[in-house]
Structures are given as structure tokens and as C-alpha cells.
Amino acid sequence: MFSFFFSVVYFSGGLVVSYLILDSIRKFIRTFNLFAPSKLRDLHSKPIPSFIGVGFIVLFLLGTFFYSKLIDIHIDYSVFLLCLLIITLIGVRDDLLEISSKEKLLFQLIVINILLYANQHLVIDHLHGFLGIYEIPFYFSYFFTCFIGVAVINSFNLIDGIDGNAGVNALISFVLFAVIFWTIENQAFLGICILMSSLVLGYLFINLRRVKKGFMGDTGSLFIGFMIFVMTLLLMNSESVFLANILPSKSVLPLAPLSIFILPILDTLSVYSYRIKIGRSPFSPDNYHLHHLALKLFSRHHFTAALFLNGFVISFCLLFALLSFNTPPLISISLYFAFVFLLVVYSNRIRTKIRRRLGKKASDVVVFED
């Protein structure tokens, strides 16, 4: 179905429609003054439409309804839409009213359980020898899959702090997943990856403008995080014969989503561990995320900092793709966790130096203007 010509037309049409719809939502928000209360850690002094990501669910519906039966082969399409709708509503409420982390977590768990109840084949019950783990008992596998869902959804939300960072990272993620789904001949989610890539690119054209700009907000980042979670479940449960033949061992399969998602993983592990280290709650707000460090150390221009971080993501994915295909599984897996550990330690040392330089109180929130 998704021939090269059709994919180009599908992507181009999605790009144009997404830009027009998301920009219309931006104008609607500004016209009716639907701005969230400002926060001390915000990096922009002027109010900017902050939840144009509400249009993602509309664009997804418009872009997929004509091949919904193809999607049904892999996941219940109606349940998938319901989950995306609930995630969108959670995001809108959080963008406008700032709901508590506990309430947000509760709704996320409800959405994940709705998805898994209707699609039990998506539960991760086997790791094929990754970290020495093979079959996972059913109830623990259910809990484990829920944990992954919460981690992925919230980790992606954390990197949406400067212009372009979450958008460029999402674009890279969907392009890489498109390659994977093309490889394993999953036509439905290849199409969804093409659609999501065009949608995110349309958003970036708005997000990166100096005037008349808009943010996806929690509405958009939660939506994208949930989408990446679903794609991870499909990959982990894939029975592709071709995939099994080209991999030296299926135990390295988790390295694909772990590498694609490296930026949110590093940001979450490093910033949470640092907050705990200095005696603060891991959920307390500050400007110590990786994108803030990039602004401080490399460039005060948001997009330049975002390109630096996501250039690292591409390099990291290429490195571990090569390692996974050319080294024994134990070596590539061990190197992955060694790299993550060293990067977390190094980034926390940078945080310590910045905090000492600025003073403990002043460094809790550091404002950068683009």
C-alpha cells in the first residue's frame, strides 16, 4: 500500500494539512486568550499559545481513518483512538490548569490499562535473553508494561522545554521507527510513522518561528510519548522472521527503542538523580534538564541547542546499530548501560559546577531567552 510515490504524497499532504490546522488552533488560542498561568521556570517572557498539540488527535484521525482496517490487524483501532483522546484531554487540562503529578499518573495508568485490556498481545512477556531475562510471568509482565508506558510518556514530556527540542526528537524517533516497521513489513505503522513525521514537521514550522509561534504543550508531548510507547510494544512483540534472521540474537532487540529514546532516558535519569542528590524531590521543577545545560554551555539559541542534543541522538543510534549487528549481544548491551551511566555521571558533574557558580538558591531556576 505504502509505495514510495504514495508515501511522498501522503507525507506532503500531511505536512500541509498539519501546518494549516495547527496554525489555526494557534490563532484560536490567541483570539480567545486561552493562555495557561505563567511559571517561574518558563523560558519565554511573553505569553505564547501553549497547547496547539490538541490538533494532533484531529490530524491522526484524518490521516488514518481510510486504512483503519489495516491498523486493526496490529491493534484495536477504536481503542487506540479512545486512548489517544483521553491522553489529549489530560494534556489540555494540565496545560490550562496544571493538574498534580499524582492525578496525571492516575489517568495515564487508566489509559495504559485500557490499551492493554483490549490488546493483550501487546503486553511485554518475553525479553528474549536481554539482561538474562526470558519469559516474564503474566502479572509481573502486565506491571512491567505499565511501568514502561508511564516512563516513556513522562520522559518525553520532560524534554519539551526549549523550542524545537521535543519536535526534532520526535521527528527522529518516527523516522527511525518508520525504517524499523518497513523492515518488519508492518505497513499500518509505517503509514502512521509517515503521518506523525509530517505532523511533527508541520508543528516545527510554527514552533521555530520568532513571531506567531506556538508550543505543543503537555497536550502534544503526552500524545507523542504515548505513540512512541505503542510503537515500542509492537516492536518488542514482533514475530518478524526477517528481523529474527538479521539480528545476531533477539536479546539485542530492546536496544532499538532504548537507543531511539536515549535523550528522554538520559534526561530523566540524570535530572531525577541530581535532585535527589541535592536533597530535593525528584519531581520538583527547575532548569537543570539537558536542554538547559545545552543552552548554558553551547548556545543560547534554542534551536542550535536542540540540534546539538538531537545530533547526539542520531550518532548514538548509529553507533548502537553497528554494535548490535557486529558484536556479541552481551558486549553491545553492556556498552549501552556503561554509556548511559557515564553520561548521567558527567551531566550531573556539570549541574554541580553550574549550581556552585550561580549559588544554590539562584540556580534552582535559570531563565534563558531565545
Each residue's pLDDT tens digit, 242-270: 887 888 899 999 999 999 999 999 999 99
What angle, 0 to 180 degrees and rounded to 10, lies between the N-to-C axes of helices 187-207 and 55-64? 140
Q: What percent of the chain has pLDDT over 90?
A: 75
By CB atoms closer than 10 A (0-12, 13-18, 19+), residue 9 is exposed
**Per-residue model confidence (pLDDT) at position 357:** 82
> Span 55-74, mean pLDDT?
96
Average pLDDT of the chain to the nearest whole number: 91
Does residue 126 have a pLDDT over 50? yes
Rounded-to-10 torsion of CA 39, 153, 260, 188: -130
Name the least confident of 74-78, 121-125, 153-157, 365-369. 365-369
Cβ atoms of residues 260 and 121 within 8 Å: no
Q: Which residues are paired to 130 by β-bridges?
A: 133
Angle (CA) 273 278 281, round 5°: 65
> Span 10-17, mean pLDDT?
97
Cβ atoms of residues 206 and 214 within 8 Å: yes
CA–CA dist 156, 284 (Å, integer): 17
> Span 202-211, mean pLDDT?
94
DSSP secondary structure of 4-17: HHHHHHHHHHHHHH
Report which residue type is found at 1. Answer: M
> Span 275-291, mean pLDDT?
88
What Cα–Cα distance (Å) separates residue 84 from each residue in 51, 94, 256? 15, 15, 24
Does residue 117 have a pLDDT over 90? yes
CA–CA dist 122, 138 (Å, integer): 12
The three grid cell numbers given for residue 121, joined into one nine-digit string: 498481545
Q: What is the largest CA-CA distance in the chain?
A: 59
